[in-house]
Structure 1
Amino acid sequence: MLCGEKSIGAIAAGLLALAGAADAQVWRADQGDGTYRNPVLFADYPDPDIIRVGQDFYFASTTFANVPGITILHSRDLVNWRISGHVLPRLDGDRRFDLRDGGVYRQGFFAASLRHHGGRFFLAVTPVGMNTRLYSATSINGPWTFTELDLQAFDPGLFFDDDGTGYIATSIGSDGTITLLTLNKDYSAVASSRVIHFHKGAEGSKLIKRAGWYYLFNAIPNRLGMTVSRARTLRGPWETRPQIDDKSGGHQGALVDLPDGGWYGFVMVDAGAIGRMTNISPVFWKDDWPIWGTPDAPNRVPDRAPKPISGQPFAEPPSSDDFASAKLGPQWQWNHNPDDTRWSLTQRPGFLRLHATRAADLWSARNTLTQKTQGPRGRATVKLDLAGIRPGDVCGFGTFGKISAQLSIVGGNGSRSLTMKVTDSTEAGPKTETRVPAIPFTGRQLWLRVDTDFGRSTGQVAYSSDGARWAAVGGAFPLRFDWRTGTFQGQQFALSCYNPGASGGHLDIDSFTLSALPADVIVPDAKP
């Protein structure tokens, strides 16, 4: 798992001109003319591992402490993706997953490795501070069960050889020693371990096999790049060559084969406040070495290219929600394991009800419901019913992560008011600035809005009493990513309701709508 931070202003500026093909979407990779543009998802889907099973591609992505955990996406062409589901309905093994003892933001489940073998799906993942788990299921939609191994394999790279033997390649960037773990026959334990290679800074190992060669891909944190090594046997000796880096397309990834025998690469790129996004790239072979790009433009991931597989319809992960279903959509995740007694989609059909949880602030509040922001420029709007708000309740909407900017309704004794706070999650702990202490509000219905511009790394919130006339409050705030603090994820949208006291009321959410930010809307620059 690599991390880094850089502006995506240049990326966004170059791509905004193409947005007219999909005015209704925040981002659309499929251009509708047989081509696609990168990233295939303009959102935080980090640590990708993509496999093909028949005509279907599956993509596993990191979720840290968010619940449900380990997102699985599905595609028929590597460009148009839908969320198939999640591996873990709840996180287990640590009371901090319930947001106890400070919680485990930045930890949890990440850098999973997905494979299909013998009619089953397998997924290796190492929860922070725990031994590696090997999950398996007959269907990608589960149910998944797991076996816990007797060691911790950092960023495990799962691989099954032609004879059915299972292996895990593992390395950690602070060292660079690459170790190969051989699993026993039923994949329930490690049978043996041996060092097979050393490459300074290597981590995020992934293994594939092609034409009698084994290929080992490794991310290199200190260069935000990726190498490929090859050998005739898993024991080596290995030859190593540099591949690409964040300047030419990304890092931490590997290859996946197409049904027609071709190959494509997938790689994540650190992209500032939006998080870490996934690019895909054609790959060609020269002297049995993979080369990213095309013979005419080698060694770089193209911004735009022909689709790997033509004829597939447009698809994307869901975002907007009217909460008419009795089940949360797959785009939603809780900040930790939720208290299921404190939220409901059935107590008032057509609304999501969040009961106020007891907490001192947003960072420690359980049952905060999140969704990935989308770039390059987005507008998210929620419609709320405030009838259930009680004294002391702090219920609202905004961003969550490194910067948590929340516009909230606060219940008082016979009154309500709006407040806007910006919290920066620093290494010393969350630091909160109250931008707007109290705006009296008497209505029952309230609309809240968040505008985000990831090209300029700035955001702004606004409110309305009728959904038509809006008032921006609190000024612009920065959008940021920092792996050392926050949630180790890109900025998220967040719906929350908490009360510092012993009891509280509830917030009813009628709808959430996400769309592209209108071209004529300029989000002000955030103050330093």
Structure 2
Amino acid sequence: MTSPLATRLAAALCAAGLALATAPTLAWQADNGDGSYTNPPLNADYPDPDIIRVGEDFYFATTTFANSPGLRLLHSRDLINWRIAGHVLPRLDGGPAFDLNGGSVYRRGVFAPSLRFHDGQFVIAFTMVGQNTRICRATDIAGPWRCHSLDRAAFDPGLFFDTDGSAHIATAIGSDGTVTLLSLSKDLTTVTAARKIHYIQGAEGSKLIRRGDWYYLFNAIPRRLAMTISRARSLTGPWETVNSINSAQTGGHQGAIVDLADGRWWGFVMQDKPSIGRITNLSPIFWRDDWPVWGTPEAPDRVPAVARKPVQGQTPQQPATSDEFDTPQLGLQWAWNHNPDNTRWSLTARPGFLRLQATRARTFWTARNTLTQKGQGPYSRADVALDLQGLAPGDRCGFGVIGKVNAHIAATRLDDGSLQLQMGGQVDEGDGKPQTELPVARTALPGPRVLLRTELDFERARGRLSWSTDGRWQPLGDEFALIYDWRTGTFQGPQYALFCFNPGAAGGRMDVDGFRFSDQRDAPR
């Protein structure tokens, strides 16, 4: 179903010879179509990966911080082509800040999940900042999930089930490096023992794997963006440790390995990128003296840029991007910046549109109901069609990015009833420091219908905002930087952001008539 506004705007663009894409465009496609793939499989911010195999299916759990729903899960049949399968947490809990009430939890929330499959159930362990570790279970990866909390917080918990069915968690925090093994009761509700089993300076992000008679412990060393591998004949040690790959030269610094149905093993590892965030790379593994080695015997100790797909014959696919908002539920590609106020957004009030009613907030950074989607590399853009007839004086509603640099075009209604577009935003400096304001650019808007475009060029680390009412795209304001920084912003790469807020009383509304994604660089201006 194509909504009326999109049809009218597309017709105007066609008349100008600049038609919008009429079909959704996939993001970065890692599957080369010839039996090989190019890293990364997902060219976007999918950090802290944990990947398991169940039969012929692979499942991927990733950190989502303050985004809601929380704790994203993906599914693949070949480790290369992924789709979003669901989320574990419909909403985040633990205090009013998760609702952007009295503060925010950017850079907090859900961290470093550990996913396993045991006794016919998916089991996931994770620790929200400032809370005890939770263990959730479901018979279907899409949920629903049943969760309970342990009596303590295990930093970056590495869940592990041994061959005898016993359950354990390996945990270490980089400020210390002591690896502790927590043993769990059969029903996974109680910690029955806690033992210090190893020490690696700066270690965290623990993962435990068993292969034959050997236990393998994988740890990230964030201070040098590297990974170590330890092995022992017993869970309690003694362990011997070797250095493995690193983020700067050889492809990553936090991850582990996953077995294939035919007995081969593959490695997954996170790599920091300065503009897009933390990506996940996949690599073949070979074994040398019972140690897993990333790469191939011909090119060892590095993640290959291009390699043969681990499983052949699967159809190329990527997580969904474009959305016409013509179903009563949001697509799984979307997440709110914090828990939403569900009374102030709707997909049914005006069928075929996403309606965002202005929430009361002082700034973009503190506004609820900002709807986000991951930016995609190496280049992507998104166009949205907006109907602004419902804007009230003082509303600031529009489209842009959220991250460390929060650049956006906001539509406002002036006191005389006219409409104006304003490009601006803030740079989050972290630690409670005042945000730095971006240069402001303004233009009058001749009517209530407009297309807004956000371009993200991660190779140049630059973004651009544009607008159109007649098929001629006009940049508004200067280019802005695309920056990933774990110390400031959202701890995520830049995300597309639809928003509507009012610094005074909650005001009017913005109707969004479609989100069109493209990875083509030859976009007309």
For normalisation by structure 1, the TM-score amounts to 0.93
Q: Contact 1:67 / 1:335 at 8 angstroms: preserved in 2? A: yes
- The 5 Å alignment of 1:3-402 reads 24-246=25-247, 247-402=249-404
Q: How far apart, in 2, do the equivalents of 1:74 and 1:196 lie?
A: 33
- The equivalent of 2:449 in structure 1 is 445
In structure 1, how many angstroms separate the alpha carbons of the residues matched to 2:83 and 2:448? 36
Question: 8 Å contact 2:407–2:438 — kept in the other structure?
Answer: no
Give the 3-state SS of the residue equivalent to 2:110 in structure 1. Answer: coil
Q: Report the equivalent of 2:21.
A: none
**1:520–1:492: structure 2 CA closer, same or farther, 3 Å change rule?**
closer
- How far has the Cα of 1:432 moved from its partner? 4.3
Given candidates 498, 501, 505, the residue that maps to 2:504 is 501
**Separation in structure 2 between the aligned mates of residue 201 and residue 93 of structure 1, nearest angstrom:** 28
In 1, the alpha carbon distance for the partners of 2:440 and 2:246 equals: 43
Corresponding residue to 1:513 among 513, 516, 519: 516
1:77, distance to aligned residue in structure 2 (A): 0.1
Q: Is the 8 A contact 1:35 1:307 kept in 2?
A: yes
AA of the residue aligned to 2:246: D
Whether 1:409 aligns to 2:411 is: yes
- 1:27 deviation in Å? 0.8
Aligned to 2:425: 422
Task: Please give the alpha-carbon distance, in whole angstroms, between the structure 2 residues aligned to 1:432 and 1:388.
Answer: 30
Task: Output one character per residue of 1:202-257: Cα deviation in whole Å (capped at 9) or x when no partner.
Answer: 10000000011000000011210101100000010001111100120101100000
Unaligned runs of 5+ in 2: 1-23
Between the aligned partners of 1:361 and 1:233, the Cα distance in structure 2 is 54
**Aligned residue for 1:526?**
none
Deviations 1:99-124 (A, max 9, x none): 11211000001100000000111100
Corresponding pairs, count: 499
Give me the whole-angstrom Cα distance separating, in 1, the residues matched to 2:385 and 2:145.
Answer: 36
Match of 1:10 in 2: none
Aligned-pair distance for 1:515? 0.6
Q: Which amino acid aligns with 2:262?
A: D
Q: Quote how far apart the aligned CAs of 1:441 are.
A: 1.2
CA deviation after TM superposition for structure 1 residue 520, in Å? 7.7
Range that drifts further, 41-50 or 509-518? 509-518
Whole-angstrom distance in 2 between the partners of 1:214 and 1:208:
6
Q: 1:24 to 1:498 in 2, by over 3 A?
A: closer
The 10-residue stretch of structure 1 (414-423 or 396-405) with the greater mean CA deviation from structure 2: 414-423
Q: Residues of 2 paired with 1:463 and 1:507: CA distance? A: 16
> Percent identity over the alignment?
59
In the alignment, is residue 473 of structure 1 matched against residue 479 of structure 2?
Answer: no
Q: What is the one-letter code of the residue matched to 2:199?
A: F
CA contact (8 A) 1:421 1:432 kept: no
Q: Is the 8 Å Cα contact of residues 441 and 477 (structure 2) preserved in structure 1?
A: no
CA contact (8 A) 2:30 2:38 kept: yes
Instruction: Kindly indicate whether residue 493 of structure 2 is the aligned counterpart of residue 490 of structure 1.
Output: yes
Q: Find the counterpart in structure 2 of residue 15 from structure 1.
A: none
Matched-pair contact (CA < 8 Å) for 1:26–1:376 = no
Whole-Å separation in 1 of the counterparts to 2:436 and 2:297: 52
Deviation (angstroms), 1:517: 3.5
- SS of 1:388's partner is coil
Name the SS of the counterpart of 2:97 in structure 1.
Answer: helix
Q: Which amino acid aligns with 1:109?
A: V
Instruction: Please give the secondary structure, in 1, of the residue aligned with 2:128.
Output: coil
Amino acid at match of 1:270: D
Match of 1:314, as an amino acid?
A: P
How far apart, CA to CA, are the structure 1 residues paired with 2:524 and 2:38? 24
Q: How many angstroms does 1:503 deviate by?
A: 2.8
The Cα shift of 1:26 comes to 3.5
Range with bigger deviation, 410-419 or 52-61: 410-419
Question: Is 1:269–1:278's contact at 8 Å kept on the other side of the alignment?
Answer: yes
* Cα displacement string for residues 93-148 of structure 1 (whole angstroms, at most 9, x for unaligned residues): 22111111211000001100000000111100011001101111111111111121
Counterpart CA distance in 2 for 1:34 and 1:509 is: 40
SS at match of 1:341: helix
Deviations 1:248-301 (A, max 9, x none): 010110000001100000001001121100000000111111011001110000
Shift, 1:437, TM fit:
4.8
Q: How much has 1:435 moved relative to structure 2?
A: 2.8
> Would you say 1:456 and 2:457 are equivalent positions?
no
1:77-106 CA-to-partner distances (Å, cap 9, x unmatched) read: 000000000000001122111111211000
Give the whole-Å Cα distance in 1 for the aligned partners of 2:424 and 2:298. 51
The residue type paired with residue 509 of structure 1 is V
**Structure-2 separation of matches of 1:430 and 1:66:** 23
Deviates more, 1:443-452 or 1:427-436: 427-436
- The runs of 5 or more residues in structure 1 that have no matched partner are 1-22, 523-528
Matched-pair contact (CA < 8 Å) for 1:451–1:517: no
Counterpart of 1:375 in structure 2: which amino acid? G
**Is the Cα–Cα contact under 8 Å of residues 422 and 477 in structure 1 kept in the other structure?**
no
Tell me, in whole angstroms, the C-alpha distance in 2 between the residues paired with 1:432 and 1:184.
50
Q: Could you tell me how far apart the structure 1 residues matched to 2:344 and 2:99 are?
A: 13
Q: TM (normalized to structure 2)?
A: 0.93
- CA apart distance, 1:514: 1.1
Determine if contact 1:214/1:233 at 8 Å carries over to the other structure: yes
Shift in Å, 1:521: 7.6
Amino acid of the structure 1 residue aligned with 2:221: I
On the 8 A contact 1:244/1:250 being kept in 2, the answer is yes
User: How far did 1:481 drift?
Assistant: 1.1
